[in-house]
């Protein structure tokens, strides 16, 4: 049974922050994202929900969950809809205005956001997060990426082996954009001694200029890594947040709060974009 969310409880569209100040989101300040997903509202012009969730109960009902008056995920509504059950994300809505909604209609591999009625959280601020455990959401980006990717993520990894992970990958063979989460990282040409696969809350800025080198910044520290080349010429590509493919060594195991992709160089705005994300999620 699918229940229309609009017929039950319209989501809230925040216009003002606390104190009556006009709402200003990250995408108001730094627009032109190819896709943008978050547990917070990112744009004053975005009038949709944050996500569509499936409640794991009789009938497997679907609900849209919006934002509260502060622009945060409406956790009160989500808890009410879950009613003590698990809730899984079926659609993570794109707030960029491009309609690139991340979706997975297969229940068995949908990421979780509520466990037994309790919202999953990450970080010292205990903000909501989506847990990926060999799960994924597909993004119909196709040719929106042409040679340059600039990705910003609030996330952490709970994978503790030496396998690689793909927070962003493509379902088209030979056209993979990803970051290595292992000791292939280089810092000033040297493999760092730290292990960045641990469970630390991270703000990652990853960018790729179409060559064989990817550049990564974790919590303010720069790294580089030799990674697979980026091939963006296919017109039928489906990009994916999470597992690629399910059960492979490339799968993503961890939590995600925000995932913003620009298809152009944001070098002039990198510091400010990261500062905005860090201020909201209190990452480092």
pLDDT tens per residue, range 67-86: 999 999 999 999 999 999 99
For residue 40, list its beta bridge partners: 72
How many Cα atoms are found within 13 Å in the side-chain-facing hemisphere of 28? 10
- What DSSP letter does each residue of 193-212 carry, written as one string? SS-TTSS--EEEEEEE-SSS
Residue 32 confidence (pLDDT) above 60: yes
pLDDT at 227 exceeding the cut of 90? no
Instruction: Write down the residue that tokens 């919590």 correspond to.
Output: 219
Q: What is the mean pLDDT of residues 137-161?
A: 74
Domain boundaries, the chain: 23-281
Alpha-carbon distances of 141 from 79, 121, 237, rounded to whole Å? 31, 28, 7
pLDDT category at 198 given cuts 50, 70, 90 is: low
Distance CA 231, CA 146 (A): 8
In this predicted structure, the answer to whether residue 7 has a pLDDT above a threshold of 70 is: no
Name the range with the highest mean pLDDT among 145-149, 247-251, 271-275: 271-275
Most distant pair of Cα atoms in the chain: their distance? 57
Confidence of residue 225 (pLDDT cuts 50, 70, 90): low
Distances (CA, A) of 185 to 129, 151, 177, 229, 238: 26, 17, 16, 16, 27
Tokens at residue 284, please?
């480092």
pLDDT at 242: 80
pLDDT at residue 119 in the model: 98
Q: How confident is the model at residue 176 (pLDDT cuts 50, 70, 90)?
A: very low
- Look-up: residue for tokens 């905005």? 276
Q: Are 61 and 54 in contact, with CB atoms under 8 Å apart?
A: yes
- Sequence-ordered list of residues with C-beta below 8 angstroms from that of 235, at least 6 positions apart, any chain: 142, 143
In the block, which residue shows the tokens 């927070």? 167
Least confident of 89-103, 192-206, 254-268: 192-206
**Architecture of the domain defined by 23-281:** Sandwich (2.60)
Residue 242, CA distances (Å) to 25, 133, 193, 259 in order: 26, 8, 26, 11
Q: Give tens-digit pLDDT for 240-249.
A: 788 666 666 6
Q: Is the pLDDT of residue 10 over 80?
A: no
Model confidence at 197: pLDDT above 90: no
- Residue 225 bridge partners (DSSP): 185, 214
CB 239 within 8 A of CB 259: no
- Cα–Cα distance between 220 and 196 in angstroms, integer? 13
Separation of alpha carbons 102 and 240, rounded Å: 8
Residue-level pLDDT at 267? 87
């Amino acid at each position: 049974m699918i229940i229309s969310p609009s017929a039950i409880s319209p989501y809230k569209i925040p216009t003002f922050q606390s104190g009556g100040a006009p709402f200003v989101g990250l995408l108001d300040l730094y627009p032109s994202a190819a896709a943008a997903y978050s547990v917070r509202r990112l744009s004053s012009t975005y009038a949709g929900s944050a996500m569509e969730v499936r409640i794991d109960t009789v009938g497997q009902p679907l609900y849209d969950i919006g934002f509260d008056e502060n622009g945060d995920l409406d956790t009160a509504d989500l808890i009410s809809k879950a009613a003590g059950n698990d809730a899984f994300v079926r659609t993570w809505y794109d707030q960029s205005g491009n309609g690139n909604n991340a979706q997975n209609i297969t229940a068995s591999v949908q990421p979780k956001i509520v466990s037994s009625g309790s919202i999953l959280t990450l970080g010292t601020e205990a903000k909501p997060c989506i847990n990926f455990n060999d799960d994924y959401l597909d993004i119909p980006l196709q040719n929106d990426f042409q040679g340059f990717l600039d990705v910003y993520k609030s996330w952490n990894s709970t994978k503790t082996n030496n396998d690689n992970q793909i927070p962003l990958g493509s379902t088209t063979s030979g056209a993979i954009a990803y970051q290595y989460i292992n000791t292939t990282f280089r810092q000033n040409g040297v493999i760092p001694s730290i292990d960045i696969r641990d469970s630390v809350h991270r703000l990652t800025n990853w960018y790729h200029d179409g060559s064989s080198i990817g550049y990564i910044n974790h919590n303010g520290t720069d790294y580089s890594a030799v990674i697979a080349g980026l091939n963006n010429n296919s017109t039928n590509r489906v990009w994916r947040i999470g597992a690629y493919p399910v059960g492979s060594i490339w799968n993503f195991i961890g939590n995600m709060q925000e995932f913003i992709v620009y298809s152009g160089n944001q070098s002039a705005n990198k510091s400010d974009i990261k500062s905005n994300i860090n201020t909201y999620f209190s990452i480092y």
